Every structure is written in structure tokens, then in C-alpha cells.
A and B are shown apart, each in its own frame.
Chain A
Amino acid sequence: MLEKAIKGNVLYWGWLFFLLAIIGVGAGAYMMQLEQGLGITGLNRDVSWGFYIAQFTFLVGVAASAVMMVIPKYLHNFKAFGRMLILGEFLAIAAVSMCLMFIIADLGQPQRLMNVLLHPSPNSILFWDMIVLNGYLFLNLLIGWVTLQSERKQVAPPKWIMPFIYLSIPWAVSIHTVTAFLYAGLPGRDFWLTAVMAPSFLASAFAAGPALLILLGLAVKVFAKWDPGKESIQALAKIVVYAMSVHLFIVACKVFTAFYSQIPDKLYHYKFLYLGLDGHTTLATFSWVAIAAGVIAVIILLNPRNRQAENVLAFSCILILLSTWIDKGLGLISAGFIPNPMKQVVLYTPTQPELLITLAIWAKGFLILTILYKVAVGVKKEIEA
């Protein structure tokens, strides 16, 4: 089926070369990081994780969200998702690949990566995260490829694939739960020390992932001239608005706990995130943009008529992506490390090489996604022709 990826129009090849150009620039920046060390990033002794780990955390959510189509399709026989499901699974593959690349980009000694396998440490959550992420990548590659292949041959998917499909449901939940546990179990990091970490991760993921999928579905409709179907897009839109409402509710619960208890250990992190500490208010500005974008999107999308208008739907999905990305990609990590264990504010700002490497990994993800979507849409069109 891969041959479908090498036949495309000028727009397709232009897009691929554009992505390759970004990847090339980022690769140069990464060579610099390999040569000089993580000192070229804005990370420091107090904020020891930053942009890379934040992107990884956001993208795990995007990957996990494929389950929001698998459950209706395979547990409730919701046929409308059958048409679009492969786009969700291929998005998961691209997202998990980006996650793994971001983790590697964040390592100080990437050539020692295999030490995680050579000296397995089951008490480390990172060990389990490695297992669930790679497992999820494998599951989606297998399920996506096998189901697409049988679709092409116009036969029912083989029976042996069903256990893998059912396994992929709890597995999707596990990737985001385990990632939340990376943060949730640490003593002295009061911002992260909450039992709602995993549920809040899942809620925002089930908003962000399907929102991105709606945008991708609409993009496929415009650029590849293949319609993923109104019914599936509308079903996704409902998932987005309810998941986003739950996410905003959990944010409100966390803010209440911090501000009403007034316990400094917790409060200072929330003050930094929403009000600013010691005059540092940049992150607070972003946080309010995130809240506003999320609330506005929910208000728009609760009205069915707005959901049905595709341009309004697309606009709201962009707002939701912006909101959830700021929440995880900026707020979560920074506010977790600031203030530091001595209750001092040490700031973190990503540097230019760090941003270029980040951008390049996103570009690699989109490259994988484009090629996979080209194959999937090609097969779908072939059957329908």
C-alpha cells in the first residue's frame, strides 16, 4: 500500500519538501545540542524539564484520543466512525512517534538510551511509560495496517486482530495515565501532587485529540478531495465539547482547592500560573488566554447549529487546541517547577535552538502523518471508485 505515498500532485510534494526543510534546520540545531549538551536550551538547575517534555505530554494526549473512536466503533457498533477510524489510528502513530522523539531529544546522554532496557527498574514510572508508549505504537501500526489492508481487499478484518483492538482501548487510557503518574507521585512538587492528574490528563486529551482530528478530517476533505463523512465529524464534535467541559471543570476544582485552602505550598504554584509571582506574569497571561479560549469554544460548540457549520466548528477546534496546548505545553511543567523547592522563582524560557528542535520534531510528526494519510485516503478512494 505504501506505493500510494509516492504518487502525488505538486501540492503534496511541496508540502513534504516544506516539512523536510524544517526538519533539516532542526537537525542542525540537534547536532549542536549533541555536541554541546543541553546547555543550549533554556533549562536550568531549578526548571530541569521544559519544552520537550511539555510537547511530549501534550502529544501523549493526542495519541490516546484515538480510543474515542475505537470505543464507539467496536464496543457500540457505531458504524459512522468506520469511515474515519483509520485517520484516528494513524494520527495516534504520528503522535506517539513524536512523543518518543521528544523524550530522546530531552536526554542528556541519548546514546545510553538502551540502559532503560538493560537495567529495567519497575519502580520508575519512566520505565512503564516506555513500555506503554512503544506498545501503543505497535498496536496502532498493527491494527491500522491490517484493517486498512483488508478494507482494500474488501474482506472483513481477520478475527485474530480483534483481541488487539480490544486491548488497544485500555492501552490508550494507560498511556496517558502512566504519563500523568510521571508527575503525580513526586514529593515536594505540590502542583503535580494531585489524584486528579490522570483524570484531568484524559479529559484534556479527549478534547485536544478529537479537535485535531476534526481539523485533519476537514483538511483531507479540502486537499485530498475525500469526505470522512458528516456524521463522524459531528460525533467527534460532541466528544470535543463534553471532554473540554470536563477539563475546564477539573481546572476549576484544582484552582478552588489551592486558593480556598490557602496553603502556601500549593498556592504559590497556582499564583504563579494565574496571577504571576514576583512580578513574573508572562505565563499568567498565557493561562488566561487558555481559559478564555476554552470557555469560548465550549459556549460556541454547545449549540448544535454552530457545530454543524463547518467553519465555526473548525474555528472552535483551533481555540480548543490552543487552550489545551497552553495548559500542558506551557503551564503544567513551568508551574510545577516554579517556585523551586526553596520557594524561589527561577524562570525558564525556551531558547532558539530548543524551539527549532521542537519545530523539527513536530514537522517529522506531520511528515509521518501526511504519508500515512496519503496511503489511507488513497485506499479509501480506490475502493469507492
Chain B
Amino acid sequence: MKSSRRKFIRMAGFAALGWSICPSLAGAAVEAGPKLYFKGEEQLSATQWAMAVDTKKLTRQVMNKCIEACHTLHNVPEIDSNQNIKWLWIEPFRNLFYDQSHPNLTDMANKPFLALCNHCENPPCVRVCPTKATFKRPDGIVLMDFHRCIGCRFCMAGCPYGSRSFNFFDPRRYLEQLDPEYPTRTKGVVEKCEFCAHRLDKGQMPACVEASEGALLFGDLSDSSSDVRRALRERYSLVRKPKLGTGPNVYYLI
């Protein structure tokens, strides 16, 4: 008994020694790991990215082009049920702004608008996520780590805008064409619009903005000369559910 205890202590000592000789191993692993924010030369940077939706320019055709651009680029499957995936979709005014509409707003109420994640300043989805699988980048974009998400769907309960989707099935089953530029997801994880963070990092504008024929404006909210700020100065605008204090960064120009 005594000798085995002594043996154990000796072994533990050697183990500790081994660890202390090569502490650089742990450090090296971190160094070699991928950098979260690649500061390339072309990378577009901002303090807070924001989008302005010019609702006067939103035609069915334009909206469908935006959705098409987004959903093909991100390998978003078409699923014909309420277990579907939506990053960018069409929703009538009265659904998006039911708290800011009234029965006599007849024309406006049925007008179709585009809906997407609001990339909130104070995002409840980030607050409730138990694994930090959804997080906010320093430039204000709310991102998803598809590899860390455990699929608890707390973020979906937390989002007051219905902007998140869950992969009830393997999404690859529903994809006819694959865009190799962007990863496909597995079943059991949550996903949503990412303001095309991967494109901004390469110096490109979000896919929907490029396809929108000027209906979607995108820019840095802290830059007073940006497209978004100029539009917000000149036009009357709405955000969804401002009273909730989430600070949405998608503005609707009326």
C-alpha cells in the first residue's frame, strides 16, 4: 500500500515535470490557431455595420433577386414546410411593424418588405446562448459558429424578430446546387443572416446589397458620410420593435 502510494506520487511528479518542461506546447497551439478577424488589405471595416432598406425601391422582382443571391451563395435550402430555413425573406409591413400600424393604413399594411436578422446592438440571442456559439463581432455583426452550436434553440426563443432558423433535417438533402465558397450546415444547428461577414472581409459588399439595384444600402453607422447615414438623414425610417431595447441595425426607409 505504502509503496504503491509512493510510486503514484513519483509518477505524478514526473508528469508535472514533463508538463513544465514543455509549456510552450500549449502556447504554440494557440499561436498556430486561426485568427478570428483576418485584417487583410481589402477588408472592409466598421464600428457598427448597418443596413437601410429603401422600401420605395422594393419590387417583387428586386426582392426575389436579393433572396436568390443570398440563398444560393449561402447554400440555404428550399424546404416546403414550417421547418424551413430563411435568411432573407418577404414579409408584409403589418407583420413586421404590427405595433406601428393601424387598420386604416390599408395600402401600406399589405406592402411586402424584406426581413432579415437585425444584428442588434444588444442581441438577446447572444445573451442566452449557453456555448457562445452565437456572438457579436467588434464590428457589430452577430455571427454563428455552426460547429459549436448544440442545437438547444434558446436563441430562437430569445430572438423577438423570428430571424433564426433551425436545421430540422440535413440541409444538404435539399440542395441541388452547392456553392463551394460557403460551408453547408449539418442537421441540428441554428443559422441566420450573417451580413455576409465573409464577403466584407474580402472587401465585397453583402450579396443581397449587390443584387438589390440600390434598394438596400449598407455602411458604417458611425461614419456620417456613409450611404446608410446619409439616407437616414434624408428620409423617415423605422426599426422593428424599438421598445424592446435590442437596438436593431436594419432600418426601413419609408
A374 CB within 8 Å of chain B: no
- Interface status of B61 (Cβ within 8 A of chain A): no
Once the chains bind, are B124 and A342 in contact (CB under 8 Å)? no
Segment touching B, from A37-45, A60-68, A205-213, A245-253: A37-45
> What band does the interface of chain B fall in when counting residues whose beta carbon is under 8 Å from A?
35 or more
Complex alpha-carbon distance, A36 and B173, angstroms = 11
CA gap between A103 and B152 in the complex, in Å: 8
- Contacts of B170 on A, CB cut-off 8 Å? 36-37
Do B124 and A39 touch (CB < 8 A)?
Answer: no
Check A310 for interface membership: any CB of B closer than 8 A: no
Q: Pick the most buried of A45, A49, A342: most chain B CB atoms within 10 A of its CB.
A: A45
CB of A48 within 8 Å of the partner chain: yes
Residue contacts A-B, CB under 8 angstroms, 6 given: A45-B165, A49-B153, A108-B187, A121-B130, A130-B130, A188-B244
- Chain B interface, >50% SS class: loop
Shortest beta-carbon contacts, A-B, top 4: A108-B151, A188-B160, A108-B188, A39-B168
B58 to chain A, nearest CB (A): 18
Complex CA gap A64/B156 in Å reads: 27
With A109-B151, A187-B160, A340-B162 known as contacts, the answer to whether A121 contacts B129 (CB < 8 A) is yes
Shortest A125–chain B CB gap in Å is: 7
Bound together, the chains give a CA A152 to CA B84 distance in angstroms of: 58
Contact between chains at B151 and A107 (CB < 8 Å): yes
Binary per-residue interface labels of chain A (119-141) against chain B in the complex, 1 for a CB within 8 Å, 0 otherwise: 10101111100100000000000
Cβ A186 vs Cβ B158 within 8 A: yes
Among B81, B149, B188, the residue within 8 A (CB) of A37 is: B188
Q: Which of B8-16, B66-74, B91-99 contacts A (4 or more CB under 8 A)?
A: B91-99
Q: Would you call A126 and B162 a contact (CB within 8 A)?
A: no
B189:A45 contact, CB within 8 angstroms: no
Instruction: Check: B246 CB closer than 8 A to any chain A CB.
Output: yes
A109 CB → nearest B CB, Å? 4
Q: Which of B84, B152, B157, B188 contacts A189, CB < 8 Å?
A: B157
**How far in angstroms is the closest Cβ of chain A from B16?**
24
> Is A344 among interface residues, defined by CB-CB distance under 8 A?
yes
Apart from A43-B83, A44-B82, A343-B98, list 16 A-B contacts with CB within 8 A.
A36-B170, A38-B188, A44-B83, A108-B152, A109-B186, A113-B150, A115-B150, A116-B131, A116-B150, A121-B131, A124-B128, A124-B154, A187-B124, A188-B244, A342-B95, A346-B82
Residues of B within 8 A of A (CB): 81-84, 86, 91, 95-96, 98-99, 124, 127-133, 148-154, 156-162, 165-170, 186-190, 241, 244-246
Q: Which of B86, B96, B165, B244 contacts A187 (CB 8 A)?
A: B244
CA distance A125 to B124 in the complex (A): 12
Residues of chain B with a CB closer than 8 A to A14's CB: none
Q: Which residues of B contact A113 (CB under 8 A)?
A: 150
Q: Is the CB of B128 within 8 A of A38?
A: no
Cβ contacts under 8 Å, A115 to chain B: 130-131, 133, 148, 150
**Contact yes or no, A341 B160, CB < 8 A:** yes
Say how far A17's CB is from chain B's closest CB, in angstroms: 33
Cα–Cα distance between A189 and B154 once the two chains are bound (Å): 12
Q: Say if the beta carbon of A46 comes within 8 Å of chain B.
A: yes
| Chain A residues whose C-beta falls within 8 Å of the C-beta of B188 in the assembled complex | 37-38, 107-109
In the complex, what distance in Å separates the CA atom of A312 from the CA atom of B149? Answer: 50
Interface size class of A (residues with CB under 8 A): 35 or more
Q: Which residues of B contact A43 (CB under 8 A)?
A: 83, 166, 168
Residues of chain B lying within 8 A (CB to CB) of residue A227: none
A44 with B189: CB separation less than 8 A: no
Indicate whether A159 reaches chain B with its CB closer than 8 angstroms.
Answer: no
CB-based contact A126/B133 at 8 Å: no
Which of B83, B127, B156, B157 makes the CB contact (< 8 A) with A39? B83
In the complex, whether A327 has a CB less than 8 A from a CB of chain B is no
A36 B189 Cβ-Cβ under 8 A = no
Chain B, residue nearest A44 (CB):
B82
Residue on A nearest B245 in the bound complex, by CB:
A187
CB atoms of A45 and B82 under 8 A apart: yes
The interface residues of chain B lying within 8 Å CB-to-CB of A76 are none
B18 to chain A: closest CB distance in Å? 24
Task: Using A109-B188, A187-B246, A342-B162 as known contacts, say yes or no to A123 and B150 having CB atoms under 8 A apart.
Answer: no
Within 8 A of B (CB), among A352-378: none
CB distance from B132 to the nearest CB of A (A): 5
In the assembled complex, the Cα of A164 lies from the Cα of B157 at a distance in Å of 35
Q: Known contacts A38-B151, A119-B132; decide if A45 and B84 are in contact (CB<8 Å).
A: yes
